[in-house]
Structure 1
Amino acid sequence: MSIFRRTMFAAMASCMILAPGLASAETIFDAMAKAYRNNPDLNSVRAQLRATDENVTIAKAAMRPQIGASATANSVGGYIKGGDGFDYQTESIGITITQQIFDGFQTLYNVKAAESGVASSREQLRAEEISILLAAAQAYADVAREQQIVAIRRKNLSFLQEQLNAANARLQVGEGTRTDVSQAQAQLAAAQALLTGAVASLKQSEAVYVQVVGTAPTGVKQPAPASRALPPTLDVAVQTGIREHPAVLSALYAVDAAGYQVKSAEGSLLPGVVIQGNVSRNWTNETTSNGFFSTPSPDTDVATITARLNVPIYQGGAEYGNIRKAKETLGAQRMQVDSVRAAIQQQVTGAYAQMEAAEAGIRAARQQISASNQALQGVIEERNVGQKTTLDVLNAQQAVLEAQESLVAYQRNAVVASYSLLAATGKLTVKSQDLQVAEYRAEAHYEAVKDMWFGLRTVDVP
């Protein structure tokens, strides 16, 4: 790998066509930092994680007291057969407190499942962060490539204009032919079309850059391939990826959550204990009569405490269906872990192969450029003494153009492949790349809400 890095840096230093520099040059690390801070897709996933944090509070609520207040008012009127009518009102207010004492450990395991779900979602956020950082690196490399291709094709256009002028000059002094002029004109027109296409591709790449990073690219230059945290060998890269990639860790936490859901479902077969307390005040203007006197009924204060034991015997079979469903879900999550690991291994292997191919391509393109330039100079000299034609010069220039554009493409591929390898191993992070941006702390929101008993406002976190 050290040989690869030396080759990459040498290739970058020897790049023949550099993008125009601006006063406020932006590096590939600046682009990743801006994307980490501004990308709306990433901010959306962060908001989704904050919503997932609330599942822990929701699960804990089942073992917290439930408090309710009630108020009633009744008006009763009627007639007694053979007697007088009656009419009275009753009013009451009360407070009821219900406390679940035991629910077959369902709440305990629901809380654990929610906590595992939060951990899984955090890893999903890390995976999204890696994806956005990779997208920013690729967008930066694409803009650098397109800028260099535009510069190469502009230089090619200038060269072909010189060849057309030279062909016209030779035609005027009788040393050339109309065919030479026509061939130069045809190549010049084709070069103009190529330049137009390159400018259009640059605009498209810049639009993607704005979408990912959030700002327009400024002062983009050819970046070097990733070197920080890059694994030394393919075997190390594969083992790191299948062990530490957040997609794998997220799947493992999902297995934990599914296992707790099984235990929670099984808890529905166990008895439950509930204690309920009630305090009420009752008023009435009803009177009672003993045949001689009528006396008003007294107001009453009532306090009750009830303990209830619920023993499930049969609930229609739904409880057994839920248990079987939870077990199948657990099995599916376990298989998902294997699937994710296989996908990560494929991504690591593919990125490593692309990186090696780009290395070989850079070496070949540099040799091709050197040889093509020498051949072009030789053809021009031979054309000047009448041994070659203008068409030979144009063909030699086309070979130089293709070699230069191949080098630019391979350089872009080397950058993207190296960052893709980092992403596939789970190492493309703010910390590993030393990005100058505040790292999002997902645990801050979780710690703020996990034990909240009440409150309507969302919690702001940095």
Structure 2
Amino acid sequence: MSRALHPGRLSLLLAGLFSALPAFATDLLQVYRYALAYDAQYTAARASAAAGREKQPQALAGLLPTIAATGNTYWNDSTYKGSISALNDSYHNKYNSHSYGVSLTQPLFRWQNFVQYDQSKLLVLQTEANFAQAGQDLILRVAQAYFDVLVAVENLRAVQANKTAIAQQLEQAKKNFEVGIATVTDTYESQSRFDLATAEEIAAENELEVNRYALRVLIGTDPGELNRLKPTAIMAPPQPASMEQWVEAAERDSFVVQAQQAATEAAAKAVEINRADHYPTVDVVASYNQNNGPGQFGVGSIDNTTSQIGLQLNIPIFQGGAVNSKTREAIARRDAEAASLDNAKRSAALSARQSYLGVVNGLAGVRALEAALVSSLSSLESNRLGYEVGVRINIDVLNAENQVYVTRRDLARTRFDTLLAQLRLKAAVGALGEGDLEQINSLFEAP
């Protein structure tokens, strides 16, 4: 007869089962999606975008009618002394009086309101461009933090491998000295290199810890182990292969340029808005009012209703010079925004050139360092063999081991710098998105 499993035992069994499963590393896309929900800088940009989109309905309100309702009630306590016809008397009366009304104003001609509505569309475009740029910046910050951790991991692994090799060399040097086939100098040299490698290991561990914490600040959780770049990963060169085409696209399509272009055009509209304060305005006005209360001296009652509709013209004549001053200020701000637009285009062009060269030169650097690593490993084997047969000294082996470590470290850093340059190049032309991150993510695998 079967027996039911106690809930406590079931929990222990499930815990043991899941603990036995292999842990999955966190990939680049997961980290990015964590950052989308957690990063404070991007959250602030999202809220700013929502606020900026309200500029257009606010400006539209200047073209629509405004309706207002009013009402009041008063308690009256009046005393009258005098004569009415043949009567000499005094009157003292207490009563309520009420009134209410509705008014409507519909602008017919307020040029500044029309221009302000057009300006609001430009301000919304600026807001959207800034938000899109914030999205690109988030991708770059995530990739930078992710790659920094992986570079630190590769650096630590290389330092530890170098330290292990030096420790073996130190042990061999001690044995050779004990049997009299080597001098104590070899032992001192190996010990010196071992102590230096220990110091480098401590520094590498600290760098890894700092970089992991920087990533955690970005995503709000400990990502655990990260996916590593595949040894066979192939990084494609930029397409198109012409740097000038990337530069032209950056000057035209960069979100920074788009935002500044909209800001410049909005500043030009501001000049027109301020000048329009000199222009007359025409509105349709309508009102309805009703007053209720007793008649004069509290005798009888009054129910007075008034309806009005018409046109209202307002012609500004003199406003103390404020309009001219505000117009001059707006012209100066327009010129400043135009200069900022030129600067944005130049900065976008520079960023595109730097990123393009970063990709092209990075790919060349990766190939060169891969070849250098093969050569360094061959040199290390040759020096070890030469040391065994007595044609090489201990310092030659230590130098060869150090060269292998340096080459591995530089190769890892160059690979990640090249990947980041690819993302920066896309960002320079306003084309960086999650799809590009997915493409980069496909070059990684679980460790």
Which TM class, normalised by the smaller chain length? Answer: 0.7 to 0.9
What corresponds to 2:16 in structure 1?
A: none
What corresponds to 2:19 in structure 1?
A: none
SS class of match (1:84):
strand
What corresponds to 1:424 in structure 2?
A: 428
TM-score by length of 2: 0.83
Distance in 2 (alpha carbons) for counterparts of 1:357 and 1:399: 22
Distance in 1 (alpha carbons) for counterparts of 2:338 and 2:160: 56
What corresponds to 1:233 in structure 2?
A: 242
Distance in 1 (alpha carbons) for counterparts of 2:306 and 2:234: 79
Whichever residue aligns with residue 255 of structure 2, its letter is: P
Runs of at least 4 residues off by over 6 Å: none
2:278 maps to 1:278: no
SS class of match (2:211):
helix
TM-score by length of 1: 0.81
What corresponds to 1:119 in structure 2?
A: 125
What corresponds to 1:55 in structure 2?
A: 55
Contact kept, 8 Å, 1:230 with 1:422, in 2: the verdict is no
Give the unaligned 5+ runs of structure 1.
1-21, 289-293, 437-462
Contact kept, 8 Å, 2:362 with 2:414, in 1: the verdict is yes
2:169 maps to 1:163: yes
What corresponds to 1:135 in structure 2?
A: 141
What corresponds to 1:64 in structure 2?
A: 65
Structure 1 residue 259 displacement after superposition: 2.8
What corresponds to 2:376 in structure 1?
A: 372
Give the unaligned 5+ runs of structure 2.
1-21, 84-88, 441-447
Structure 1 residue 419 displacement after superposition: 1.6
2:321 maps to 1:320: no
2:257 maps to 1:248: yes
Structure 1 residue 351 displacement after superposition: 1.6
Distance in 2 (alpha carbons) for counterparts of 1:427 and 1:26: 25
Cα offsets for 1:14-50 (capped at 9, x unmatched): xxxxxxxx84234434434443444221121111111
Q: How does 1:23-422 map to 2 (within 5 A)?
A: 23-62=23-62, 63-80=64-81, 84-217=90-223, 218-222=225-229, 227=236, 230-288=239-297, 295-422=299-426
Contact kept, 8 Å, 2:238 with 2:422, in 1: the verdict is no
Distance in 2 (alpha carbons) for counterparts of 1:79 and 1:298: 19
Structure 1 residue 145 displacement after superposition: 1.1
Distance in 2 (alpha carbons) for counterparts of 1:239 and 1:326: 31
Q: Is the alpha carbon distance of 1:130 and 1:320 closer, same or farther for their aligned partners in structure 2, counting shifts above 3 Å?
A: same
Contact kept, 8 Å, 1:109 with 1:263, in 2: the verdict is yes
Q: Is the alpha carbon distance of 1:104 and 1:353 closer, same or farther for their aligned partners in structure 2, counting shifts above 3 Å?
A: same
Distance in 2 (alpha carbons) for counterparts of 1:319 and 1:253: 24
Whichever residue aligns with residue 196 of structure 1, its letter is: I
Distance in 2 (alpha carbons) for counterparts of 1:229 and 1:253: 29
Structure 1 residue 240 displacement after superposition: 1.1
Q: Is the alpha carbon distance of 1:407 and 1:255 closer, same or farther for their aligned partners in structure 2, counting shifts above 3 Å?
A: same
Distance in 1 (alpha carbons) for counterparts of 2:288 and 2:226: 74
SS class of match (1:263):
helix
Higher relative contact order (CA 8 A, sep 6+): 1
What corresponds to 1:8 in structure 2?
A: none
Contact kept, 8 Å, 1:66 with 1:97, in 2: the verdict is yes
Whichever residue aligns with residue 70 of structure 2, its letter is: A
Distance in 1 (alpha carbons) for counterparts of 2:416 and 2:296: 96
